Amino acid sequence: MRKFLNIILLSLFAGAVASCCKDETPEIRVRKKADHTLVMYLVADNNLYANLSRNVRQAAEAVASGALSAVNGRIAVYFDPNPNVHNPVLFTITEQNGKAVYDTVKRYGSQLSTDKAVMTQVCKDIRSLLPSESYGISLGSHATGWVPAAGNDLAMRSGSLEQNLWLRPQGALLTRAFGLDRQDGTEYHMDIADLSEGLSPIEWSYILTDACFMSSVEALYELRGRAPYIVASPTEIMSDGFPYAEVVSILFESPAITEQTLTEVCNAYMRH
């Protein structure tokens, strides 16, 4: 019964997103300035599609319950699913008369969301089309660490593992990157250095890495100039991700994002 209910809810989410993207050429216009905008950058062309879709629904539930009312807040979602569902889309979630309203901001063609040029352009679109006094971002997808993603396909060369420390042994688990996107049957990942560059168009108040293995010193060092606060895990993140219904409510309790605010976000995840 629960599985059946999840299928219904997933269909409702897909229908909501599809309906907000139904125009062939949606009007590109600048929205009113917000006090704070939470961006959800979700790379979902992988086995986390259902989980990331559920995260969006959870955020929408918080919006419908009035989570944004304490401040002039807004949620902006960049969602990249399997292209058989739809192409990547940027949309907002706002509250009207006690309901969450999805509004398309920009629809994109087929593209790799793990490409730093794509992320850079999305951030520029958010900055120009969705002006805000401050921004935070949640990065949702797979992640595997900090060593350059370009090394992922390198097999062991001659010598011992110690002599080839920075090469992935044949058959070893993948490390070294954020995001998993697909194109023509090939998987693509984003180096953490490229992630940092992709995020550069916006000065972020915080970064939530809703992805595994992102709190290594090396990864955090690469992201050091992007935000004063970074929430990350040294181990796996549950596929459920953050409990966004609760997290959104916490982030929009006050216009000022403090260390205490993000501590509450971490506590919400630990309770979850």
45-63 tens-digit pLDDT: 888 899 999 999 999 999 9
CA–CA separation, 141 and 214 (whole Å): 11
Cα separation, 188 vs 180, whole angstroms? 6
- What pTM does this model have? 0.80
Average pLDDT over residues 62-81: 94
- The 10s digit of each residue's pLDDT in 149-193 is 554 443 333 344 344 444 445 555 444 567 667 777 777 778 888
C-alpha span between 269 and 238 (Å, rounded): 10
DSSP character at residue 245: H
| Alpha-carbon span 122 to 128, nearest angstrom | 10
**Checking DSSP bridges between strand 89-96 and strand 73-80, what pairing results, if any?**
antiparallel
pLDDT band at residue 35, thresholds of 50, 70 and 90? very high
> How does residue 196 score in pLDDT terms, banded at 50, 70 and 90?
very high
Q: In this structure, what token pair is assigned to residue 168?
A: 């992935």
Beta strand residue intervals within the chain, DSSP E: 34-43, 73-80, 89-96, 99-107, 132-140, 178-183, 186-190, 204-210, 230-231
pLDDT at 14: 52
Predicted pLDDT of residue 22? 52
Confidence at residue 7, expressed as pLDDT on a 0 to 100 scale: 34
**Is-contact 34 68, C-beta < 8 A?**
no
